[in-house]
Amino acid sequence: MRKITAELFISLDGVVEAPHEWHFPYFDDRMGAAVDAVVGSARTLLLGRRTYESFAGAWPGREAAGGEDADFARRLGDARKIVVSRRPLESTWRNSELLGGELLQAVEALKNEPGEEPIVISGSVSVVRRLLAAGLLDRLQLLVHPVVLGKGMRLFEEGEPAVPLELLSCEAFDTGVLNLFYAPAGRPGSAGYEEARTHLPRAEG
């Protein structure tokens, strides 16, 4: 079965909206390598409409310009891009297609396609939320930036059911960005202060 990984830029207070307005001061070679290892190497991208339109409005032109980011742009263009939308695609960006049918059922079908190549989601917050809640997301990569924005859409909305996660890896960049990978986890069980206090340091003597 194919696995799905989602990658998101996120602030310390959980904001994921409009990262192009706040994350570039923290973008360095190590973050570039982290993004390239997930999104840049993807053969299949699953994208919400807004993210797709943003990508389609930028990356084909960057590929054509032949600058430093042209190779990354070319790989995005060569990847299969599956777009979650109820409206027809207007972009002519190559290898783009609409996801047919209801989201969760269609994603299950994608995961059951032959092969083991991962499916990658970049941005596309509403898609990530639904797949995470449905247990269809296998890995969540959060690039946590050391900034508190104070406003904007957050990844996890208030009032939603708890989603237990297991930390797979943690890497700190020189910029203060944390590169965190999570996977879905089982429920942590019940415990209270009486259980927790056994782990507190005890005075000697």
Number of domain units in the chain: 1
Whole domain around residue 47: which residue ranges?
Answer: 4-199
Q: Dig out the tokens for 133 from the structure.
A: 């809640």
Domain assignment present for residue 204? The answer is: no
CB 147 within 8 A of CB 22: yes
**pLDDT, tens digit (0-9, with 9 covering 90-100), for 120-160:** 999 999 999 999 999 999 999 999 999 999 999 999 888 88
Proportion of the chain above pLDDT 70, given as a percent:
99
Domain assignment present for residue 116? The answer is: yes
For residue 151, the model assigns a pLDDT of: 95
Instruction: Using alpha carbons only, give the angle 46, 49, 54 rounded to the nearest 5 degrees.
Output: 95
Q: Dig out the tokens for 95 from the structure.
A: 């290898």
CATH assignment of the domain containing 85: 3.40.430.10
Is 90 exceeded by the pLDDT of residue 73? yes
The side-by-side arrangement of strands in the sheet containing 44-48 is 96-98, 80-84, 44-48, 119-122, 4-11, 139-145, 178-184, 165-172
Domain assignment present for residue 121? The answer is: yes
With a CB cutoff of 8 Å and minimum separation 6, the contacts of 98 are 82, 83, 85, 88, 89
For residue 205, the model assigns a pLDDT of: 59
Q: Provide mean pLDDT across the span 86-105.
A: 92
Is 90 exceeded by the pLDDT of residue 53? yes
Proportion of the chain above pLDDT 90, given as a percent:
80
Query: Cα(80)–Cα(84) distance, rounded to whole angstroms?
Result: 13
Domain assignment present for residue 93? The answer is: yes
- Distances in whole angstroms, Cα of residue 142 to Cα of each of 59, 71, 139: 22, 24, 10
Domain assignment present for residue 80? The answer is: yes
Domain assignment present for residue 66? The answer is: yes
**pLDDT, tens digit (0-9, with 9 covering 90-100), for 14-37:** 999 999 999 999 999 999 999 999
| 3-class state of residue 59 by DSSP | helix
Q: Across-strand partners of 172?
A: 178
Q: How confident is the model at residue 161 (pLDDT cuts 50, 70, 90)?
A: confident
User: How many C-beta atoms lie closer than 10 Å to residue 166's C-beta?
Assistant: 10
Residue 199 amino acid letter: H
Residue bearing the bigger pLDDT, 189 or 202:
202
DSSP, res 101: S
Mean pLDDT over each residue of the chain, to the nearest integer = 93
Domain assignment present for residue 27? The answer is: yes
Domain assignment present for residue 130? The answer is: yes
For residue 90, the model assigns a pLDDT of: 85
- Distances in whole angstroms, Cα of residue 55 to Cα of each of 38, 46, 58, 83, 149: 16, 12, 5, 11, 24
User: How many C-beta atoms lie closer than 10 Å to residue 119's C-beta?
Assistant: 22
